[in-house]
Structure 1
Amino acid sequence: MNGLPVLTDASRRTLALAMTTAGRASAATIAPEHLLVGLLLEPTQDAYAALVRAGALPNQLAELPRRLMPPLAAPEPGAGAGLAYTPRTKQAILAAASEARLDGADAAAPRHLLRGLLQDAASPAALALHGIGVTLDALRNAGSGGSAP
């Protein structure tokens, strides 16, 4: 994606996980729901922890990928490689940079990507988060709880 904002290593891993998720779902593009699944799978758990601080329950978070995705194919090397981001996903990534600036951060962490996703309230990812009681305001009010590498 040209014009990608400065991202933490954890955010770059999240985007790679989103790409793999899209490939495993046989999707033609990387949609916001793939990004949300990537955020939930990211090893530092920055976004997961932010969701819990915002009031989401672990069992709700465990169920989200199954609600958002069709059954995924087994992981294969290079799954999703070369897929493009949808306009909504691009916008969420760009919005993450603004969210990072609001926190005084130089780079967008996974929690900022999560907040960027919620800025498009009509996306399937945002609707799923709203369905478990997570809002943009709740995430902002929950604080950062630390920073991801």
Structure 2
Amino acid sequence: MQTDKEILIKLAQQNPSELSPDELGQTALLRKIQIPRPLVMVNSSTSGIVAGSMRTWEAIEQYAAERSIDIDLAETGSIGLSSEDPVISVQLPGRCRIFFSRITAEKVSCLLDDLFHREIPDQHVIGQLYREGQEPWKDVPSLEDIPYFA
């Protein structure tokens, strides 16, 4: 297997159709199209931090540790909706990434309980990022269908 740096250089220099199946698989992992475990991303922009995203981060870490759930937790930049911070996104293996607004530390447990049981909470949903090869969430709008993101 090539290093991430090697595969990114090769991808920049070649057409994706010229990559081997193994290289395409590695590229899908890097682009978060295919993931081996749940991925939770927390907006760590200035507005997110002011709104409490670091406490949200800590609550996510605590949630995963208490339940022995293996997740990838990552910081991300703003999607531009500062009035909705803290914004987090969650992607389960095989599913589209879904974005949620105003997820304070107190809301983490209920939100993740719902998602890990394949349920979408009634509140705080912004939308989902559709990608080929991922199963979309039912009754959740695509970010592309939301005028702000269009």
TM-score (norm 2): 0.29
Bigger proportion of residues as strand: 2
TM-score (norm 1): 0.29
| Higher normalized contact order (CA 8 Å, seq sep 6+, divided by chain length) | 1
Task: Look at both structures and tell me which one has the larger radius of gyration over its CA atoms.
Answer: 2
